[in-house]
């Protein structure tokens, strides 16, 4: 298996904080997809499905046939819906208006959005199935996933304020059984609203969901509630568009939604954004035009207005239903604590070389991390399972397919990183005061101000 990460963007907000934008989750595909001899599927069939989807009125002003997209099919990269392809592309034979690049174009590394020249472009790496859910993909599904990424481009062009700062997840409060219970029962209430038959039931269960949601968010600092609402704008609405395009069951959701924060929180933003949109479709079909007119509104603000207008009453869960959800959350919370403790202890005790980087004086800017694969530790430390990358003028580091532990300052800049379990020692250039490591999928090259070596331990200060 190979893991491909999406493009990321870092920008400074007006208050000086660093905003991290992750334009899609990690995209998983098998090593076979790197073969130069066989396509994952027929790209022409996928784009025929895409053309059919483009005939559907998905969102006011959104036309998938007008947004550039680059698609890698495991053999070649195809470029659609633009007369100005990136350098290296040539006109495709017997495929009018399409350009092709031999092999995988460097910027097309997953289902994401990238800047190619002056144009925002959707990208997709075709796969036969989802690594997260084991769901098998049809050509229609793959076309719908492309439309999802094109909607992200539409959002960037029409609604640039719709951005979530995934960096806040690095400081997310440690999980509790009560928070896990509230997220699960909130989710269940939203699900019941989506499948309800009458307007009264839809509104009643939506009110119940919002009540549990407010109770949960009141336990958190306000930036985390804002984060979830921003995520509903970006990923929630894109997921809503994709599900309609693919013709999927509206209740389809991964089990990660029921999981531990922060991964469970980030995943919840997809499904709740989608479900709120579907509830609004039933309560007020004109809600999309309202949001286009005033894109500062959050989905749940529009929903609350609609619920107020219909004057519905909350619908209650039975005592046994509440008890069942609460007991399940408590059991899963206890299991997670045990599993987490063993995982962290096992990592810290890995044999081999260890590198500790102290960058407090010269913090590194984050390039990428996977928010669905982190654990929050005491003293604001973060355990990364899959990938972490950062850089500054002193150098860069990239830890891929290997765990590490990080610490950050208030601007989301890396101030310390612990890397355990290395089978190879780093190279040290004493004359240039540089430490270098090229080991499997780990790359590190930093100029240091001080270096202490004690057996297999390297303490690096930059």
- Cα 419 to Cα 425: distance, rounded to the nearest angstrom: 12
- What does the pLDDT read at residue 118? 83
- Cα 141 to Cα 162: distance, rounded to the nearest angstrom: 25
- Cα 388 to Cα 252: distance, rounded to the nearest angstrom: 30
Average pLDDT, the chain: 91
* pLDDT band for position 395 (cuts 50, 70, 90): very high
350 alpha-carbon distance from chain centroid:
29
The 10s digit of each residue's pLDDT in 309-343 is 887 899 999 999 999 999 999 999 999 999 999 99
Q: Of 49, 40, 50, 44, nearest to 125 (Cα)?
A: 40
Provide the pairing of β-strand 457-461 with 353-358.
parallel
Q: Give 304: exposed, middle or buried? Use CB within 10 Å, 0-12, 13-18, 19+.
A: middle
184 alpha-carbon distance from chain centroid:
20
- Let me know: does 268 contact 228? Beta carbons within 8 Å: yes
The 10s digit of each residue's pLDDT in 117-171 is 889 999 999 999 887 777 899 999 999 999 999 999 999 999 999 999 999 999 9
Q: Residue 201: is its pLDDT beyond 50?
A: yes
The 10s digit of each residue's pLDDT in 169-193 is 999 999 999 999 999 999 999 999 9
What are 408's two structure tokens?
A: 């950050």
Run of H or E including 10? strand 8-12
Q: Which residues, 6 or more positions from 444, have their beta carbon under 8 angstroms from its beta carbon?
A: 355, 395, 396, 397, 398, 419, 426, 435, 436, 437, 438
Phi then psi for residue 117, to 5 deg, are 65, -125
What mean pLDDT comes out for the span 429-454?
97
Buried b / exposed e over 147-182, threshold 16 CB at 10 Å, is bbbbbbbbbbeebeebbbbbbbbbbbeebebebbbb
- Let me know: does 259 contact 265? Beta carbons within 8 Å: no
Peptide bond into 264 cis (omega under 30): no
- Cα 407 to Cα 418: distance, rounded to the nearest angstrom: 9
DSSP, collapsed to helix, strand or coil, labels residue 78 as strand
What mean pLDDT comes out for the span 12-17?
35
- What does the pLDDT read at residue 309? 85
- What does the pLDDT read at residue 252? 66
What are 70's two structure tokens?
A: 């680059």
- Cα 168 to Cα 173: distance, rounded to the nearest angstrom: 10
Q: Give 423: exposed, middle or buried? Use CB within 10 Å, 0-12, 13-18, 19+.
A: exposed
In the block, tokens 């089978």 appear at 423
Terminal alpha carbon distance of the chain: 34
Other C-beta atoms closer than 10 Å to the C-beta of 341 total 10
- What does the pLDDT read at residue 98? 98
* pLDDT band for position 107 (cuts 50, 70, 90): very high
What mean pLDDT comes out for the span 213-242?
97
The 10s digit of each residue's pLDDT in 281-318 is 999 999 999 999 999 999 999 999 999 888 789 999 99
In the block, tokens 């289902």 appear at 111
- Cα 122 to Cα 105: distance, rounded to the nearest angstrom: 13
- Cα 360 to Cα 362: distance, rounded to the nearest angstrom: 6
Partners of 64 in the beta sheet? none
Q: Give 110: exposed, middle or buried? Use CB within 10 Å, 0-12, 13-18, 19+.
A: buried
Rg (CA), the chain: 23
- What does the pLDDT read at residue 257? 66
Q: Which residues, 6 or more positions from 270, have their beta carbon under 8 angstroms from its beta carbon?
A: 231, 235, 236, 239, 253, 257
- Which of the pair, 9 or 68, is modelled with greater confidence? 68
Phi then psi for residue 109, to 5 deg, are -120, 5
What are 34's two structure tokens?
A: 């790197």
> CA quadruple 283, 288, 294, 295: dihedral positive or negative?
positive
């Amino acid at each position: 298996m190979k893991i491909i990460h999406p493009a990321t963007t870092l920008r400074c907000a007006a208050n000086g904080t660093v905003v991290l934008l992750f334009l899609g989750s990690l995209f998983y595909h098998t090593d076979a997809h790197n073969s130069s001899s066989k396509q994952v599927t027929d790209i022409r069939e996928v784009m025929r499905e895409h053309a059919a989807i483009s005939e559907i009125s998905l969102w006011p002003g959104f036309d998938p046939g007008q947004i550039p997209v680059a698609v890698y099919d495991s053999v070649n990269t195809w470029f659609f819906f633009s007369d100005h392809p990136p350098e290296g592309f040539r006109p495709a034979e017997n495929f009018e208006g399409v350009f092709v690049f031999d092999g995988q174009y460097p910027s097309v590394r997953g289902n994401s959005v990238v800047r190619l020249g002056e144009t925002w472009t959707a990208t997709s790496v075709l796969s036969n199935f989802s690594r997260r859910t084991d769901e098998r993909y049809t050509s229609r599904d793959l076309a719908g996933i492309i439309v999802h990424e094109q909607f992200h481009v539409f959002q960037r062009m029409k609604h640039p304020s719709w951005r979530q700062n995934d960096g806040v997840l690095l400081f997310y409060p440690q999980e509790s059984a009560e928070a896990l219970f509230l997220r699960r029962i909130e989710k269940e209430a939203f699900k019941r609203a989506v499948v309800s038959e009458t307007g009264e039931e839809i509104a009643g269960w939506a009110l119940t969901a919002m009540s549990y949601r407010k109770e949960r968010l009141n336990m958190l600092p306000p930036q985390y509630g804002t984060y979830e609402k921003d995520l509903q704008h970006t990923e929630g609405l894109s997921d809503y568009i994709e599900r309609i395009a693919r013709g999927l069951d509206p209740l389809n959701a991964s089990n990660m939604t029921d999981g531990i924060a922060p991964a469970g929180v980030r995943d919840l933003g997809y499904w709740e954004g989608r479900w709120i949109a579907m509830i609004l479709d039933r309560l007020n079909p004109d809600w999309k035009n309202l949001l286009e007119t005033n894109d500062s509104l959050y989905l749940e603000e529009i929903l609350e207005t609609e619920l107020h207008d219909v004057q519905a009453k909350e619908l209650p869960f039975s005592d046994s239903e509440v008890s069942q959800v609460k007991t399940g959350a408590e059991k899963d919370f206890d299991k997670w604590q045990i599993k987490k403790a063993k995982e962290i202890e096992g990592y810290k005790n890995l044999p081999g070389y260890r590198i500790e980087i102290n960058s407090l004086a010269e913090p590194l800017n984050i390039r990428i991390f996977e928010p669905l694969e982190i654990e929050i530790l005491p003293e604001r430390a973060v355990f990364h399972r899959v990938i972490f990358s950062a850089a500054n003028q002193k150098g860069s580091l990239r830890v891929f397919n290997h765990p590490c532990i990080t610490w950050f300052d208030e601007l989301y800049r890396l101030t310390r990183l612990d890397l355990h379990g290395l089978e190879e020692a780093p190279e040290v250039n004493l004359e240039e005061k540089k430490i270098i490591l090229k080991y499997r999928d780990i790359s590190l090259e930093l100029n240091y101000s001080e270096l202490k070596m004690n057996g297999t331990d390297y303490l690096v200060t930059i």
